[in-house]
C-alpha cells in the first residue's frame, strides 16, 4: 500500500471506532480481516496512525476546528509526526486510494491552528469530565501531565534476577539497543522503532527463556517499593496475570512464600505458564472457588499484603489511548467501591507488625490518597508510612521526590518519572 492509502485506511478505522463506539483493537483487527491484501507492515503502520490519532484526539480536533476522523488524523500528523503542510498536501492528493484534497480551511488550520486558548483537558488530551480531578492533582501542570500521558511509551523490560542479571540481558538483546531504566535496578528500556512500534520481543531467546519480562518501569517500582524480603509470607491479593507476583518472587530470591490470589479466576490463568518460564518456585496460586478465594489460613499471618488494586488505569493511557475516551464517571465510582473492598480484605490478612502495600496504575486522588485516608479513619491499628521512608527501605531514596502532596504515598507519572502513572503507599499495622 502507498503511504497515502494507509491514511485513508486509518480515517476509515477512526470513523468505525467513533460511529460504532467499539474498542480500537477490534476495529483495527476487523479492518485487517476485511482487507487481506494489506501486508503486516501496512497493518502495523495503519494501527500506529490510529493509535497516535487517538492519543491526541481532543487537541487535534481543536487545532483543525472540527472533530471528524479526518480532522483528528490531520491534527495528529502535525502534532505527533511533525509533518510540514506541503508533505501532507502531497499525501492528501485525492488520487487513487489517497484521501481527498485538503480544503483551503484545512490548509489554514493545519498551518496556523494553535492550542493557546485550549482548556487543560483539550491541550492535555484527557476527557473533559476529569478536568477537576486533574486540576486537583496537578494544578497548573494538568495539561502538561495529560500531554505526557498522550505520548508514545517505550518498551520496558524487567530482567529476571532468578535467571541472570542486567549485563547478561543487555548482551543478549544488544541488537535492540536496550538502555538501563533510570530507577529500577533491574529495568531495561528498548527504544521504539521509527514508525512508533515496539521492537518485536516474543521470538527473542532472552524472552522465551524467561531472562526478561515485559513490564513498565512504574510497575517494577511498585513491586520494589513493597520491599518483600526472602523468607517472608506475602499475599498478592489482586495478582491477575501475575506481573507483580513474578517481580516479588525474584526480589525474594524464591525464598519464603507468595500466595497469588484474585477474585476473578480467569485473570489468574496466564500465571502458571509465566511462573514456569521465569523459574519461580515460591508461589502458590490460590484461585477462587465461586467469587471468593480460600485464604482463611492466612488470616493475621502475612508479613506483607500487596494490593495491586483494580483501577481506571489513567496512568496507562500512553499504552492504551483508546481507554481514556471510553472511561465514564460510573466506572470510576465502581473502581472506588472495589478499592475500598480490597483494602478492607487486605487488613484481615496482615499480621501485627506487618504491612499492606497498596498500588494503582491511576493518577487520580479519588482512587489513591482518598481511599487511604478513608481506610485509616476506619482502621485505627494502621498507619501510613512516610513516602521517603518507604523509598529508602526499598533502596530507592530518589523516589522520595515523588511523595504526594495530597496525602500519604507517592505518585509516578510519565512527566515526572518517565514511567506509566502509578501510586504506591505503605500501611503498617501496629
Ligand atoms: C490491576 S489488576 C492486577 C494486575 C496484576 N497484579 C499484575 O501485575 O499483572 C487488578 C486485579 O484485581 C482483581 N480484583 C478486583 N476486585 C478484587 C477483590 N475484591 N479481591 C481480589 N481481587 C480483586 C481484578 O480481577 C484484577 O485482576
CATH number at residue 337: 3.40.50.150
Q: What is the spatial distance between Cα 79 and Cα 86, in angstroms, rounded to a whole number?
A: 15
**Domain stop point among 171, 188, 214:** 214
Do 244 and 141 share a structural domain?
Answer: no
Report how many domains make up the chain: 4
Q: Is residue 45 within 8 Å of 8, Cβ to Cβ?
A: no
Instruction: Say if residue 368's pLDDT is above 80.
Output: yes
pLDDT at site 106: 98
The share of the chain scoring above pLDDT 70, in percent, equals: 100
Distance CA 244, CA 222 (A): 8
pLDDT value for 263:
93
Q: Is 104 annotated as a binding residue?
A: no
β-pair type (187-190, 155-159): antiparallel
- For residues 112 and 250, state if they share a domain: no
DSSP 382: E
Look at residue 243 in the predicted model and tell me its pLDDT: 97
Output the pTM of the full model.
0.96
| 33 and 161 inside one domain | no
Distance CA 228, CA 236 (A): 11
Q: What pLDDT sits at residue 100?
A: 98
Q: Is the pLDDT of residue 290 over 80?
A: no
Query: Do 280 and 190 share a domain, yes or no?
Result: no
Same domain, 313 and 288: yes
- Report the alpha-carbon distance of residue 246 to residue 254 in Å, rounded: 10
Neighbours of 41 (CB within 10 A): 12
For the beta carbon of residue 153, count every other beta carbon within 10 angstroms: 20
Q: Provide residues with CB under 6 Å of ligand 1.
A: 237-244, 262-264, 267, 308, 310, 338, 341-342, 345
Domain end position, chosen among 198, 214, 230? 214
- Please write the tens of the pLDDT for every residue from 292-340: 778 999 999 999 999 999 999 999 999 999 999 999 999 999 999 999 9
CB distance 341 to 307 below 8 Å: no
Give, in order, the Cα–Cα distances in Å from 237 to each of 241, 297, 324. Answer: 12, 14, 26
Confidence (pLDDT) at 196: 78
* Residues 195, 128 share a domain: no
Average pLDDT along the chain: 96
Asked if residue 408 and residue 305 are part of one domain, the reply reads yes
Question: Could you tell me the residue range of the domain that residue 28 belongs to?
Answer: 3-118
Ligand 1 mean position to 309 CA, how many Å? 6
Q: What pairs with residue 233 in β-bridges?
A: 257
Tell me, what CATH number does 178's domain have?
3.30.70.1170
Final residue in a domain of this structure, among 214, 234, 259? 214
Q: Positive or negative, the Cα torsion across 91, 95, 99, 100?
A: positive
Catalytic status, residue 361? yes
* pLDDT over 90 percentage in the chain: 95
327 and 415 housed in the same domain: yes
Considering the candidates 238, 302, 311, 361, report the single residue annotated as catalytic.
361
pLDDT value of position 212: 98
φ, ψ for residue 406, nearest 5 deg: -105, 0
- In this structure, the residue with its CA closest to atom 7 of ligand 1 is 243
Q: 295: Cβ–Cβ under 8 A, 6 or more apart, which residues? A: 235, 259, 261, 286, 349
Please determine, for the modelled complex, whether the ipTM score is greater than 0.95.
yes
Distance 245 CA to ligand 1 centre (A): 12
The pLDDT value given to residue 99: 98
- Our CA angle for 171, 243, 228, nearest 5°, is 90
Q: So what's the pLDDT on residue 140?
A: 98
As a whole number of angstroms, the distance between CA 48 and CA 152 comes to 10
Return the best residue to mutate from 213, 217, 225, 240 for the ligand 1 pocket (most ligand atoms within 8 A of CB): 240
Is a pLDDT exceeding 90 seen at residue 291? no
- Report how far residue 277's alpha carbon sits from residue 49's, in angstroms, rounded to the nearest whole number: 34
pLDDT at 103: 98
Q: SS3 string of 152-211?
A: CCCEEEEECCCCCCHHHHHHHCHHHCCEECCCCCCEEEECCCCCCCCCCCCCCHHHHCCC
Q: Residue 195: pLDDT band by 50, 70, 90 thresholds?
A: confident
pLDDT at 193 over 90: no
343 and 225 fall within a common domain: yes
pLDDT, tens digit, for every residue of 34-70? 998 999 889 999 999 999 999 999 999 999 999 999 9
Q: Are residues 47 and 164 in the same domain?
A: no
- Sign (positive/negative) of CA torsion 416, 388, 156, 370? negative
Q: 19 exposed, middle or buried (CB, 10 Å; 0-12, 13-18, 19+)?
A: exposed
Give the model confidence (pLDDT) of 335-354 as tens digits.
999 999 999 999 999 999 99
Instruction: Indicate if 281 and 383 belong to the same structural domain.
Output: yes
Q: Same domain, yes or no, for 170 and 245?
A: no
Helix, strand or coil for residue 26?
Answer: helix
Residues in CB range of 284: below 8 A, 6 or more apart: 257, 258, 259, 260
Amino acid at each position: 500500500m502507498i503511504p497515502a492509502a494507509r491514511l485513508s485506511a486509518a480515517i476509515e478505522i477512526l470513523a468505525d471506532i467513533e460511529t460504532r463506539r467499539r474498542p480500537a483493537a477490534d476495529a483495527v483487527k476487523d479492518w485487517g480481516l476485511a482487507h487481506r491484501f494489506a501486508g503486516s507492515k501496512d497493518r502495523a503502520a495503519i494501527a500506529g496512525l490510529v493509535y497516535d490519532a487517538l492519543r491526541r484526539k481532543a487537541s487535534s480536533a481543536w487545532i483543525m476546528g472540527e472533530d471528524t476522523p479526518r480532522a483528528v488524523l490531520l491534527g495528529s500528523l502535525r502534532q505527533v509526526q511533525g509533518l510540514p503542510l506541503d508533505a501532507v498536501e502531497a499525501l492528501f492528493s485525492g488520487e487513487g486510494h489517497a484521501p481527498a484534497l485538503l480544503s483551503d480551511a484545512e490548509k489554514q488550520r493545519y498551518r496556523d491552528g494553535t492550542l493557546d486558548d485550549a482548556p487543560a483537558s483539550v491541550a492535555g488530551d484527557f476527557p473533559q469530565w476529569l478536568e477537576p480531578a486533574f486540576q486537583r492533582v496537578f494544578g497548573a501542570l494538568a495539561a502538561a501531565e495529560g500531554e505526557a500521558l498522550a505520548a508514545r511509551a517505550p518498551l520496558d523490560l524487567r530482567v529476571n534476577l532468578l535467571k541472570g542479571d542486567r549485563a547478561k540481558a543487555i548482551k543478549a538483546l544488544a541488537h535492540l539497543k536496550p538502555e538501563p531504566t533510570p530507577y529500577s535496578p533491574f529495568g531495561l528500556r528498548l527504544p521504539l522503532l521509527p514508525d512508533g512500534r515496539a521492537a518485536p520481543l516474543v521470538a527473542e531467546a532472552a524472552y522465551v527463556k524467561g531472562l526478561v519480562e515485559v513490564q513498565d518501569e512504574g510497575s517494577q517500582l511498585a513491586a520494589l517499593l513493597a520491599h518483600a524480603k526472602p523468607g517472608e509470607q506475602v499475599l498478592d491479593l489482586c495478582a491477575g496475570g501475575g506481573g507483580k507476583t513474578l517481580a516479588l518472587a525474584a526480589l525474594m530470591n524464591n525464598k519464603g512464600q507468595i500466595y497469588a490470589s484474585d477474585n476473578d479466576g480467569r485473570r489468574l490463568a496466564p500465571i502458571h505458564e509465566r511462573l514456569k518460564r521465569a523459574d519461580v518456585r515460591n508461589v502458590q496460586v490460590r484461585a477462587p472457588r465461586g467469587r471468593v478465594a480460600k485464604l482463611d489460613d492466612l488470616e493475621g499471618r502475612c508479613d506483607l499484603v500487596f494490593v495491586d488494586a483494580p483501577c481506571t488505569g489513567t496512568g496507562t493511557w500512553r499504552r492504551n489511548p483508546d481507554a481514556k475516551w471510553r472511561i465514564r464517571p460510573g466506572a470510576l465510582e465502581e473502581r472506588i467501591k472495589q478499592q475500598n473492598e480490597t483494602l478492607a480484605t487486605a487488613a484481615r490478612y496482615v499480621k501485627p507488625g506487618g504491612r499492606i502495600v497498596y498500588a494503582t496504575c491511576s493518577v487520580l486522588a479519588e482512587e489513591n490518597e482518598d481511599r487511604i485516608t478513608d481506610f485509616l479513619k476506619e482502621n485505627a491499628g494502621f498507619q501510613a508510612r512516610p513516602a521517603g521512608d518507604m523509598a529508602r527501605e526499598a533502596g530507592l531514596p530518589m523516589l522520595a521526590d515523588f511523595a504526594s502532596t495530597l496525602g500519604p504515598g507517592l505518585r509516578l507519572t510519565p512527566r515526572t518519572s518517565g514511567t506509566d502513572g502509578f501510586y504506591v503507599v505503605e500501611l503498617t499495622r501496629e
